[in-house]
């Protein structure tokens, strides 16, 4: 009998329904790790089951040959670490402990790929999952919910379906949790835009120093068009770091290097005791991070802050500086998503901004619509830095703040919006430098190409309205018609007031 492939929507519905076990008891910030980890276990178990069946048929049940073939697979799943094993034990009084043991065995069997990934998750936690009776009931429900899915590759509609389900869940959790969870998730359209702008090429080293769950890294990897790339990331939050590791695995990017630690205070991506260098660096770091480590910046052993130390309460330029310093000098490209304040704030930030412009590193400033991100309605901007600008000292300004699809809770960028931004940027990259002091309007109220002299005259202020004229002329007012209308309204008001007086007299007032 032909098996009907399970669709992306069906998987999304099942995993989202599984969340009902925890809703009302825990916040999504607490239970997201349990859901996402169980999805991971279910997937690797079903793939393992599928491989075993394939080799059993191929070798006519010869267990020695089957085992030998399985040992060469990209991951190993011990029999007492499979989802089926856990499902069979769903009524055991120590089911939380059994799941923890299974995760340890899964990690031990795949040390190179999964080392420390499950250390932040505890399925036997009383503080998170309740006392024994409640905990066992919740875990049993979780196993029953996931048992409804058959995630064997031959039963799936497409190769990316599990990775996409993972992304779907992460985005939904970000939406539920709001600002707190939104810190680790960038909306898919914004990640897609940044990946297209940075345009990674075969052979590139690609990095995200604030990688969260890894969504942007995966988008950039896909843009290469082959597996000829090296992927690196660092994430400060332990549980989010684990999500990123699992996310890479589910997208079949097994050799990604994702480090756990504070990028600004403890950069872990090093080579010969120096900062590792990359072709492409993209990130959506925390907006205006307070207490980012300014006290230690002056003595930074990697000399990242030679242009100046950003203010203690705003780490935006600390991330910008770090990202630029980790690119190859002749070819490196940086794309970073930031709040608009980075374009015009003065003091130490203004001095750093001026030096970056004078070094001819800044290539483009792109203003995004408001309300794109989870947990904040403020509009953001994308800054593109390019070490390969050559003789072109012009800077492109794009105001895309009015190009979006309006949503009930959130706005989103459409494919047409993305295409317009990217094509405008690419046309600028291939154009000849301006020879005149005055810049060039590329598209009215949308894009402007500014010369270095114009930026200097604006005191290195990059606020987009200084360059892109977004002023909308108001419709001319017909004063005579307006005066006539006011007279009519006054006449009508007098008539209404007269009627009101008559009614009040009839009522005895």
Instruction: Give the residue-averaged pLDDT of 126-132.
Output: 90
Q: What is the pLDDT of residue 118?
A: 92
Q: Is the pLDDT of residue 6 over 80?
A: no
Q: Tell me the mean pLDDT in the region 127-156.
A: 87
Check whether 96 has a pLDDT greater than 90: yes
Q: How far apart are CA 37 and CA 247, in angstroms?
A: 10
SS3 for 62-107 is CHHHHHHHHHCCCCCCCHHHCHHHHHHCCCCCCHHHHHHHHHHHHH
Q: Pick the residue with more confidence: 157 or 20?
A: 20
pLDDT, residue 243, reads 87
Confidence check: pLDDT of 501 > 90: no
Considering only CA atoms, which of 462, 469, 317 is closest in space to residue 395?
Answer: 462
Q: Which long-range contacts (CB under 8 A, 24 or more apart) does 143-147 make?
A: 143/38, 143/83, 143/86, 143/87, 143/90, 143/95, 144/87, 144/90, 145/14, 145/17, 145/18, 145/21, 146/14, 146/15, 146/18, 146/38, 146/39, 146/42, 146/83, 147/83, 147/87
pLDDT 10s digits, 409-418: 788 899 999 9
Counting residues of the chain whose pLDDT is more than 70, the rounded percentage is 93
The confidence score (pLDDT) of residue 177 equals: 52
**What is the pLDDT averaged over residues 361-377?**
89
pLDDT (0 to 100) of residue 475:
64
Residue in 309, 322, 216 with CA at minimum distance from that of residue 268: 322
Q: Residues 143-170: what's their mean pLDDT?
A: 75
What's the token pair of residue 414? 């459409």
Torsion of CA 370, 371, 377, 378, to 10 degrees: -30
pLDDT for residue 159: 55
- 362 sits in which H/E element: strand 362-367
C-alpha–C-alpha distance, residues 33 and 216, integer Å: 20
> Which pLDDT tens digit goes with each residue over 323-368?
999 999 999 999 999 999 999 999 999 999 999 999 999 999 999 9
Taking 50 as the threshold, does the pLDDT of residue 396 lie above it? yes
The per-residue pLDDT for 158 is: 56
pTM for this prediction: 0.86
Rounded distance, CA 276 to CA 232, Å?
A: 10
Using the predicted structure, report yes or no on whether residue 477 has a pLDDT greater than 80: no
pLDDT exceeds cutoff 70 at 178: no
């Amino acid at each position: 009998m032909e098996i009907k492939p399970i669709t992306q929507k069906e998987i999304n519905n099942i995993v989202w329904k599984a969340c009902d076990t925890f809703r009302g008891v825990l916040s999504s910030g607490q239970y997201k790790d349990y859901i996402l980890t169980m999805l991971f276990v279910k997937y690797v178990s079903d793939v393992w089951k599928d491989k075993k069946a394939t080799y059993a048929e191929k070798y006519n049940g010869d267990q020695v040959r089957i085992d030998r073939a399985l040992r060469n697979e990209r991951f190993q799943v011990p029999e007492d670490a499979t989802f089926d094993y856990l499902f069979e034990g769903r009524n055991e009084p120590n089911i939380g402990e059994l799941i923890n043991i299974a995760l340890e065995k899964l990690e031990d069997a795949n040390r190179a790929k999964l080392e420390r990934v499950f250390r932040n998750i505890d399925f036997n936690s009383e503080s998170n999952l309740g006392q024994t009776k409640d905990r066992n009931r919740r875990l049993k429900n979780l196993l029953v919910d996931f048992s409804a899915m058959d995630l064997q590759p031959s039963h799936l509609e497409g190769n990316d379906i599990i990775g996409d389900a993972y992304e779907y869940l992460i985005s939904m959790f970000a939406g539920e949790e709001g600002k707190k969870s939104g810190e680790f998730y960038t909306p898919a359209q914004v990640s897609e835009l940044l990946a297209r702008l940075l345009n990674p090429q075969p052979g590139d080293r690609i990095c995200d120093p604030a990688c969260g769950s890894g969504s942007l890294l995966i988008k950039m990897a896909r843009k290469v068009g082959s597996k000829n790339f090296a992927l690196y990331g660092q994430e400060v939050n332990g549980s989010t770091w684990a999500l990123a590791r699992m996310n890479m695995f589910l997208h079949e990017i097994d050799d990604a290097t994702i480090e756990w630690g504070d990028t600004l205070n403890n950069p872990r991506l090093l080579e010969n005791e120096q900062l590792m260098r990359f072709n492409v660096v993209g990130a959506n770091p925390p907006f205006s991070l307070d207490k980012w480590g300014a006290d230690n910046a002056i003595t930074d052993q990697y000399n990242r802050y030679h242009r100046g130390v950003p203010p203690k309460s705003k780490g935006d330029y600390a991330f910008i500086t770090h990202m630029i310093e980790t690119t190859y000098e002749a070819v490196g490209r940086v794309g970073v998503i930031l709040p608009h304040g980075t374009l015009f704030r003065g003091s130490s930030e203004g001095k750093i901004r001026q030096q970056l412009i004078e070094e001819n590193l800044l290539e483009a400033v792109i203003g995004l619509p408001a309300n794109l991100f989870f947990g904040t309605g403020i509009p953001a901007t994308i800054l593109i830095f390019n070490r390969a600008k050559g003789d072109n000292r012009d800077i492109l300004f794009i105001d895309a703040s009015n190009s979006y699809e309006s949503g009930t809770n959130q706005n989103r960028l459409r494919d047409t919006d993305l295409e317009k931004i990217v094509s405008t940027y690419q046309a600028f990259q291939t154009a000849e430098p301006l020879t005149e002091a005055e810049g060039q309007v590329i598209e009215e109220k949308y894009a402007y190409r500014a010369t270095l002299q114009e930026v200097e005259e604006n005191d290195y202020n990059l606020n987009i309205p200084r360059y892109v004229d977004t002023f909308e002329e108001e419709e001319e007012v017909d004063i005579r018609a307006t005066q006539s209308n006011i007279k009519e309204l006054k006449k009508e008001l007098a008539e209404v007031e007269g009627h009101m007086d008559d009614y009040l007299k009839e009522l005895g007032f």
